Structure 1
Amino acid sequence: MAVSDTSLPTTPTSSTHSTSETTMGNLPPTRLPNGVYVPMLAFFNSEDEIDIPTTQRHTARLLSAGVTGLVVHGSNGEAVHMSRKERRAVIEAVVDAVRHEVDSLQQPVPIIAGCSAASVKETTELCREACEAGATHALILPPGYYSGLLNKSMIVKYFHDVADQSPVPILVYNFPPAANGVDLDSDTILDIAAHPKVVGVKLTCGNTGKLARLVADTPKVRGGRNDFFVAGGSADFILQGLVVGARGTISGFANLAPRACVRIGELFEEGKLAEARELQHQVARADWLAIRYGFVGVKAAMPYFWGDGEQCATAPRAPFQALHEQNPEGVAEIQRGMASVLEIEREFEQGKALAA
């Protein structure tokens, strides 16, 4: 997926910056480049500690596949299973891996960190810690723990207060299952988007009508600026989003098939709609398995897509178990259902075009 704006400041060159030195810490918000963003899996070693080598290896291969940006501590990233110290360590590992790849990259790499908490105070603390670790943006859920007591104005004020205090720009994360059922409608998101430091939204709700309204109407609440990053949150509607003006996708399935996800956007931009549609069909079929089995299923597919050396990448944190331990047939189903996309991904890796 081509990038139409490369105004993002340079990715940090060290994971030890103070807040005042970190990328974007004291700079005005800038438009996120269009493209595929990958909400990265979290990896743990046999001692149940953060697996830094696997994290950095995965970062490097995603970048080599042509993705635009990376998301840490999204729903695929098991942030709720980590301490604050561990969350910082993961961000620093990803930042350092990006730094080592920077010479081969054509533009800076946004690194978006999930920073959700129930209060403004803790959320802004997470934003500051993410910034210090090198993240360029924060991804934030609505505060859904006391969802029955919230109203629209409280939710809008929550995001605006966080944006006022965060050292990095923020994106709204609309994913009702992860926010105790809170599903932000387009009117509420538009009110939130009026804040200049709220620079985008991830719509894992899958509502493409909402996506279309936000693309059309965010310039009206942002002083005419067409700088708001609207993205779907699943690989099964990348093309549908692009047709109505989405700037990209933030898709967990891109952990497995990043080139296929990128190629859908390229085909759309080239006007090859029949090819884009066929590839979207293939990706949607495979992504349905990732959706059904969740991050445990995506982890189970890592060795299938990236080689047997990634068996270490399949373990989630307790109380979850690796899929091969609890449901071997589920692993087999994933392999069968994702076989065609794996073949396509390998063809793209070898530089072959998708057959019409």
Structure 2
Amino acid sequence: MSTTPTSLSSDSLQLDDMASQQAQSGRLPNGVYVPMLAFFTSSDEIDVPATQRHTARLVAAGVSGLVIHGSNGEAVHMSRRERRSVIEAVADAVRHETDSHAPVPIIAGCGAQSLRETVELCQEAKDAGATHAIILPPGYYAGILNKDAIVTYFHDVADRSPIPVLIYNFPAAANGVDLDSDTLLRIAAHPRVVGVKLTCGNTGKLARMVAETPKIRGGRDDFFVAGGSADFILQGLVVGGHGTISGFANLAPRACVRICDLYEQGSLKEARELQHEVAKADWLAIRYGFVGVKAAMPIFHGAGEASCAEPRRPFTRLDENGTAVKEIQQGMSGALAIEATLAAAAASE
């Protein structure tokens, strides 16, 4: 695999065209989507080789799509140039790891506080290789921004964006803005708003979105509804959700995919048991945030990924001999063993 974005061949352009057509014409595929971590070199530059290794690892694990510049991806620590370079690196790796029959959606975080900048980010993401944009509600002026203005904002973005849009409902990252199901459904009425990530953890809201979106979209089941955490993958599927967008899948993508597979096969007892172990591990990822997930990269993916544990300032790396990392090692040990077993089984096929 190349370590820098390459010029596009005719095959690559064909793959991009197919991915774009898929993005424009229908709902995202069901399954596990990974909000990728961001990796930096010792000189604090974007680590393209690590980014592309991780992309290849996730694609090989069978995930349905990749999300870049989410809250796990430290987009707020990057310049616009850096954000573009990460998308290009991921898109280049995806072209190397997939074929034209199975394009992998690349969803880029494009939220900003103004309509103008959000649309600019959507255009830049598309130019770099993204197929979709995911957008937080603007929350800086949350106290004076009403629901009508938020609905209009999303509709205006969807009108102007060159790629389809997903809603990202994560109150902690949007100054407490938590979109209720009525507001989300109003936004979802726009045909180019094609999904929602519910990191609010409200499975009742998730169930309402699944039930009601076809009614407001002309009977079409083309709206992707996903939970935003690995600790309720199965719960979301039970009420009709289409998958998950989970940071923990950076560490255990095969385990997360396996939960979905077991549910589809009707193996609920086994799915519950696996969900229990994933939820136990994900609690540590939630508690320590992206810094904790980064600290677990060499634990799950080998000592060669030790550099991937480094966040950007003002955050600092967790001490590998400290209490937090020891707690992560212990609390995630069950999920680590499951992931290793699934990887070994896949390698033997």
- Answer yes or no: same fold by TM over 0.5: yes
Question: Which residue identity is paired with 1:288?
Answer: W
Contact preservation (8 Å) 2:194, 2:223: yes
Query: Are 1:331 and 2:325 matched, yes or no?
Result: yes
CA–CA distance in structure 2, aligned partners of residues 259 and 201 of structure 1: 23
- Aligned twin of 1:344: 338
- Aligned twin of 1:3: none
- Aligned twin of 2:83: 87
Question: Which residue identity is paired with 1:176?
Answer: P
CA–CA distance in structure 2, aligned partners of residues 245 and 183 of structure 1: 22
Question: Which residue identity is paired with 2:77?
Answer: H
Where 1:47 maps in the other structure, the secondary structure is: coil
- Aligned twin of 1:318: 313
Contact preservation (8 Å) 1:25, 1:168: no
Which range moved further: 20-29 or 53-62? 20-29
Shift of 1:30: 2.1
Match of 1:291 among 286, 292, 298: 286
Q: CA RMSD in A?
A: 2.0
- Aligned twin of 1:121: 116
Query: Are 1:300 and 2:295 matched, yes or no?
Result: yes
Contact preservation (8 Å) 1:29, 1:197: no
Shift of 1:222: 0.6
- Aligned twin of 2:103: 108
Deviations 1:131-185 (A, max 9, x none): 0001000000000000000111000000000000000000000000000000000
Deviations 1:210-255 (A, max 9, x none): 0000000001111111110000000000000000000000000000
Match of 1:24 among 14, 20, 30: 20
CA–CA distance in structure 1, aligned partners of residues 299 and 258 of structure 2: 21
CA–CA distance in structure 1, aligned partners of residues 302 and 224 of structure 2: 34
Where 2:55 maps in the other structure, the secondary structure is: helix
CA–CA distance in structure 1, aligned partners of residues 84 and 98 of structure 2: 21
Deviations 1:176-210 (A, max 9, x none): 00000000000000000000000000000000000
Deviations 1:30-69 (A, max 9, x none): 2100000000000000000000000000000001111010
CA–CA distance in structure 1, aligned partners of residues 179 and 236 of structure 2: 18
Where 1:351 maps in the other structure, the secondary structure is: helix
CA–CA distance in structure 2, aligned partners of residues 319 and 81 of structure 1: 9
Instruction: Give structure 1 stretches of 5+ with no counterpart.
Output: 1-11
Deviations 1:273-318 (A, max 9, x none): 0000000000000000000000000000000000000111010000
Shift of 1:23: 5.0
Match of 2:159 among 159, 164, 167: 164
- Aligned twin of 1:270: 265
- Aligned twin of 1:48: 44
Contact preservation (8 Å) 1:142, 1:179: yes
Shift of 1:79: 0.1
Instruction: Give structure 2 stretches of 5+ with no counterpart.
Output: 1-7
Which range moved further: 218-227 or 155-164? 218-227
Shift of 1:24: 2.6
CA–CA distance in structure 2, aligned partners of residues 25 and 176 of structure 1: 32
Q: If the length of structure 1 is used for normalisation, what is the TM-score? A: 0.91
Query: Are 1:217 and 2:208 matched, yes or no?
Result: no
Where 2:315 maps in the other structure, the secondary structure is: coil
CA–CA distance in structure 2, aligned partners of residues 340 and 27 of structure 1: 36
CA–CA distance in structure 2, aligned partners of residues 92 and 74 of structure 1: 16
CA–CA distance in structure 1, aligned partners of residues 57 and 319 of structure 2: 24
Count of aligned residue pairs for this structure pair: 337
Query: Are 1:38 and 2:34 matched, yes or no?
Result: yes
Query: Are 1:235 and 2:201 matched, yes or no?
Result: no
Alpha-carbon distance change, 49 to 164 in structure 1, aligned in 2, over 3 angstroms: same
Query: Are 1:254 and 2:244 matched, yes or no?
Result: no
Percent identity of paired positions between Structure 1 and Structure 2 = 72
Q: If the length of structure 2 is used for normalisation, what is the TM-score? A: 0.93
CA–CA distance in structure 2, aligned partners of residues 65 and 56 of structure 1: 14
